[in-house]
C-alpha cells in the first residue's frame, strides 16, 4: 500500500463509518501524519513477520524493568528469538494485568525503575534506548494495545462520568438501563454477571471487566484519537502492535456485537495509518473467533497482516493425548481453516498469558470435555466454568520432557509464525504465590494469574548450568529446534503436503519452498513405530538426531520426531 493508497483508504473508511460527519477532522489528522512521517524509522523487509520467532513476556515479571530485559537480550538471542511481544506496558492501574489502560502515550514508570517525578521525555528516551539495543541484535519489538476499551481511570472516562453534557460523555457507551445490546454474549462468564455497570443514574457498557468501559467508535473523535496513539508509538520506533480485542470494537443493536462490517472498517483505518507512516508495521489481530471469522481480518489485504490460529492450539494438545493425527489434520484442512492471502500469516502458539482456551467458538462440547478431562490436573486450574485450563506448558504435560519436545516440534514445523511464552523455554511452572497476590489486588479470582508470575533468574541460571536438569533439557532441545527452523524459509513461508500413513499415530507432512524440501515425522504415541517403507533417508535429520533403522526401515521412537531434509 503506497502513500496515496493509504490516504484514499483513510478517506473511504472514514466516510463509511461517519457519512454525515465533516471530513475536516480527518484532513487535519492526515496533515499530522504528513509531519510525523519523517520521524518514523523505515522498515526494509516488509514481511519480516513470516520468518520471525516471537517471544511473549511481561517486562516486570520477566526481569523487573527494561534495564533487566536489556540484560537478558543475549539469553533471548541464544534461544533464537527475533521478535519480542511485550505484554501490556502502558500506564495502568493493573487490575487486568495492564489491559486496563489509563494513558496510551505513557509506559508505566516502574518499568524504568524511575521515580514518579521522572519526565515523560526521560521515560521515552529509556524506551528508545531499549529498542536500539533490541534492534542491534536483530530483534524486533511489538506490544499490546487494547483498542476496544480503556481503564475506568483513563482521563476520558473520568470526564465522561461527570454528566450528559460533558464533551467526553460520547467517548463511551452510556444508557439509562441495560436493555441495549442484549444479544452480546458474556465473555467473562462466572466473573461478570452483565455487560452493563451502573454508575450514578446510568449504565456504561463493557465486554470485559466492569473496570474496563468500552470505547464508542461511533464518535469519529475516538477513532482519530486512538489512531494518534498508534502514530505516536511508531514515531518512537516500535515495529508493530498486537491489536487486542478487535472483534468487539463496533456495536449495533440486534447483533452479537462481534465481527461486524464496520469493525472491519475501523481496522482498515488503523492499518492505513500504519501503512502511511511505516509500511511493514505488523498489525496482529487478537481475535478469539472461528477461523472463518478470523480470516475476514486478513483476506482483503488491507486490515491485519497476521492473526493467531486459536483453534489449532487446543487440537495439538488433543492430538498428543489421543495419539492421533486427526485433530491437527482436520483443523488445518480447508474445511476448518480457509486459505489466507500470500502476504498474510497465522501465528501459532502452545501457551500464552491466558488460559488454554476451550471456548465453543473454536472447539465443540466433546473437545472441550476431552481436553479438560485430560489436561486439567488440578480443580484450581479450571477457568470460566470449563471454558479453559489455567496452566503452564510444563504443568499440562506433568513435566514430561518428551511430550514437551513433541508439542514444540508440532508448533515449530506446522505452517505459521511460532510464539514462545516467557519461562516456557525452561519449563516454568504455575505460580501460586503470584496468583494469590493478584486476587488481592484485582478482587477477582482470575486463575489466569497462575500462568504468569516472576522469573527467579538466579535459580534458572543455576539449573541451566546443569545439563541433566529438567530446565536445561527443555531449553537445549527448544533452542536447537528454533535455530534449525531458522535455516529453512520453508517453515515460515512454504507449502505443506500431508503424507498419509496407515498408523494414524504417525503424523507426516512435507514443508516445501523452492529448493527446500523437509519431511516432518512425528510419533504421537507412547510406543515406537516402525515405518513399512524401505530405504534410507540419511544418518541424521536437520536437528542433528541420529535416524534409527530396523531391517532397513525407519523407526520413529515413542513421542519422538524427525525433521528430514530430502
Residue 535 pLDDT level (bands cut at 50, 70, 90) = low
Q: Specify the DSSP element, H or E, that contains 389.
A: strand 388-389
Look at residues 324, 500, 533 and name the one whose alpha carbon lies nearest to residue 410: 324
Q: Is residue 228 part of a domain?
A: yes
Is 68 a member of any domain? yes
19 within a domain of the structure (yes/no): no
Q: What is the pLDDT of residue 443?
A: 81
- Asked whether residue 399 falls in the same domain as residue 540, the answer is no
Decide if pLDDT at 464 tops 90. yes
Name 268's bridge partners.
Answer: none
Mean pLDDT of 205-217: 96
- The per-residue pLDDT for 104 is 97
- pLDDT > 90: what percent of the chain? 85
pLDDT at 445: 84
- Indicate if 350 and 441 belong to the same structural domain: yes
- Global pTM value: 0.94
- Does 59 share its domain with 100? yes
Please give the positions annotated as active site.
244, 286
Comparing CA positions, the residue from 363, 353, 482 lying closest to residue 418 is 482
171 lies in some domain: no
pLDDT tens digits, residue range 393-439?
999 999 999 999 999 999 999 999 999 999 999 999 999 999 999 88
Whole-number Å distance between alpha carbons of 317 and 376: 12
- Segment among 243-257, 263-277, 503-517, 532-546 with least mean pLDDT: 532-546
**Residue 5 domain flag:** no
Q: Is residue 231 part of a domain?
A: yes
Last residue of a domain, one of 458, 486, 514: 486
Do both 250 and 335 map to the same domain? yes
* Same domain for 423 and 517: no
Which strands, in side-by-side order, build the sheet including 516-523?
Answer: 495-498, 506-513, 516-523, 561-565
In a domain, 34, yes or no: no
Say if residue 458 is in the same domain as residue 547: no
63 and 97 fall within a common domain: yes
CATH code of the domain covering residue 110 = 3.20.20.80
Q: Closest Cα to residue 492, out of 543, 418, 397, 553?
A: 418
Q: Residue 200 gets which letter from DSSP?
A: T
- Lowest-confidence segment of 45-54, 282-291, 458-467 by average pLDDT: 282-291
pLDDT at 543 over 70: yes
More confident residue, 486 or 538: 486
248 plus 319 within the same structural domain:
yes
Q: How far is Cα 127 from Cα 142, in angstroms, rounded to an integer?
A: 13
Q: Is residue 365 part of a domain?
A: no
User: Cell 516471537, residue?
Assistant: 54
The span from the CA of 533 to the CA of 508, in Å, is 13
**Cα angle value 414/560/485 (rounded, 5°):** 40
Q: Are residues 328 and 465 in the same domain?
A: yes
Q: Which of 486, 513, 534 is the last residue of a domain?
A: 486
Q: Residue 80's Cα: distance from chain center in Å?
A: 18
Instruction: Check residue 534 and give its pLDDT.
Output: 59
Where residue 529 sits, what CATH number does that domain have? 2.60.40.1180
Could you tell me which of 444, 468, 471, 473 has the C-alpha nearest to residue 460? 471
Length of the chain: 566
- Looking at the fold, whether 242 and 353 belong to one and the same domain comes out as yes
Mean pLDDT of 22-41: 95
Task: Please tell me whether residues 405 and 521 are part of one structural domain.
Answer: no
Q: How confident is the model at residue 533 (pLDDT cuts 50, 70, 90)?
A: low
The pLDDT mean for the chain works out to 94
Q: Using alpha carbons, select from 31, 26, 34 the residue that is nearest to residue 220.
A: 26
Residues spanned by the domain of 333: 49-149+218-258+283-357+391-486
Q: Is the pLDDT of residue 311 over 70?
A: yes
Mean pLDDT score, 223-245? 96
pLDDT band of 446, cuts 50, 70, 90: confident
* Among candidate residues 486, 509, 538, the one where a domain is terminated: 486
How many domains does the structure of the chain reveal?
A: 2
Distance (Å, whole) CA 102 – CA 447: 24
If asked whether residues 329 and 307 sit together in one domain, one would say yes
Q: At what angle do helices 312-322 and 365-375 cross, to 10 degrees?
A: 60
Q: The C-alpha cell of 366 is what?
A: 466433546
Amino acid at each position: 500500500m503506497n502513500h496515496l493508497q493509504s490516504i484514499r483508504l483513510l478517506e473511504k473508511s472514514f466516510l463509511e463509518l461517519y457519512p454525515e460527519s465533516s471530513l475536516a477532522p480527518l484532513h487535519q489528522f492526515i496533515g499530522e501524519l504528513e509531519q510525523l512521517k519523517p520521524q518514523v524509522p523505515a522498515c526494509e523487509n516488509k514481511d519480516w513477520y513470516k520468518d520471525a520467532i516471537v517471544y511473549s513476556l511481561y517486562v516486570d515479571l520477566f526481569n523487573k524493568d527494561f534495564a533487566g530485559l536489556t540484560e537478558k537480550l543475549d539469553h533471548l538471542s541464544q534461544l533464537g528469538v527475533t521478535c519480542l511481544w511485550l505484554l501490556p506496558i502502558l500506564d495502568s492501574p493493573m487490575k487486568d494485568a495492564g489491559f486496563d489502560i489509563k494513558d496510551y502515550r505513557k509506559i508505566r514508570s516502574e518499568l524504568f525503575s524511575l521515580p514518579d517525578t521522572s519526565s515523560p521525555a526521560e521515560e521515552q528516551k529509556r524506551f528508545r534506548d531499549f529498542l536500539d539495543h533490541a534492534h542491534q541484535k536483530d530483534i524486533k519489538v511489538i506490544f499490546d494495545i487494547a483498542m476496544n476499551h480503556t481503564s475506568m481511570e483513563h482521563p476520558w472516562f473520568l470526564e465522561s462520568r461527570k454528566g450528559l453534557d460533558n464533551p467526553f460523555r460520547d467517548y463511551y457507551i452510556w444508557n439509562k438501563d441495560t436493555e441495549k445490546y442484549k444479544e452480546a454474549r458474556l465473555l467473562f462468564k462466572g466473573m461478570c454477571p452483565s455487560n452493563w455497570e451502573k454508575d450514578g443514574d446510568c449504565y456504561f457498557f463493557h465486554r470485559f471487566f466492569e473496570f474496563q468501559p468500552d470505547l464508542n467508535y461511533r464518535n469519529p473523535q475516538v477513532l482519530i484519537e486512538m489512531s494518534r496513539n498508534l502514530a505516536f508509538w511508531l514515531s518512537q520506533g516500535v515495529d508493530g502492535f498486537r491489536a487486542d480485542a478487535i472483534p468487539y470494537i463496533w456495536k449495533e443493536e440486534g447483533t452479537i456485537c462481534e465481527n461486524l462490517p464496520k469493525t472491519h472498517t475501523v481496522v482498515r483505518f488503523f492499518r492505513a495509518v500504519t501503512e502511511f507512516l511505516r509500511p511493514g508495521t505488523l498489525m496482529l489481530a487478537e481475535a478469539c473467533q472461528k477461523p472463518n471469522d478470523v480470516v475476514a481480518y486478513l483476506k482483503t489485504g488491507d486490515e491485519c497482516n497476521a492473526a493467531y490460529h486459536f483453534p489449532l492450539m487446543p487440537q495439538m494438545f488433543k492430538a498428543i493425548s489421543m495419539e492421533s493425527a486427526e485433530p491437527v489434520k482436520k483443523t488445518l484442512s480447508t474445511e476448518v481453516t480457509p486459505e489466507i492471502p500470500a502476504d498474510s500469516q497465522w501465528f501459532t502458539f502452545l501457551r500464552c498469558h491466558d488460559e488454554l482456551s476451550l471456548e465453543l467458538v473454536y472447539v465443540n462440547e466433546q473437545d472441550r470435555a476431552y481436553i479438560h478431562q485430560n489436561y486439567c490436573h488440578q480443580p484450581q486450574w479450571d477457568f470460566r466454568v470449563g471454558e479453559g485450563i489455567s496452566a503452564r506448558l510444563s504443568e499440562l504435560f506433568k513435566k514430561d520432557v518428551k511430550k514437551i519436545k513433541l508439542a514444540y516440534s508440532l508448533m515449530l514445523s506446522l505452517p505459521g509464525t511460532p510464539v514462545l511464552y516467557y519461562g516456557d523455554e525452561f519449563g516454568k511452572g504455575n505460580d501460586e504465590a503470584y496468583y494469590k497476590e493478584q486476587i488481592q489486588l484485582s478482587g477477582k479470582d482470575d486463575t489466569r494469574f497462575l500462568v504468569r508470575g516472576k522469573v527467579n533468574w538466579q535459580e534458572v541460571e543455576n539449573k541451566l548450568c546443569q545439563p541433566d536438569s529438567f530446565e536445561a533439557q527443555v531449553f537445549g532441545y527448544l533452542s536447537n529446534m528454533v535455530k534449525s527452523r531458522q535455516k529453512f524459509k520453508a517453515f515460515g513461508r512454504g507449502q505443506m503436503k500431508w503424507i498419509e500413513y496407515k498408523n494414524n499415530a504417525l503424523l507426516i507432512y512435507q514443508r516445501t519452498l523452492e529448493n527446500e524440501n523437509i519431511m516432518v515425522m512425528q510419533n504421537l504415541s507412547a510406543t515406537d513405530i516402525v515405518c513399512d517403507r524401505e530405504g534410507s533417508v540419511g544418518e541424521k535429520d536437520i536437528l542433528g538426531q541420529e535416524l534409527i533403522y530396523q531391517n532397513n526401515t525407519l523407526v520413529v521412537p515413542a513421542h519422538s520426531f524427525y525433521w528430514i531434509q530430502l
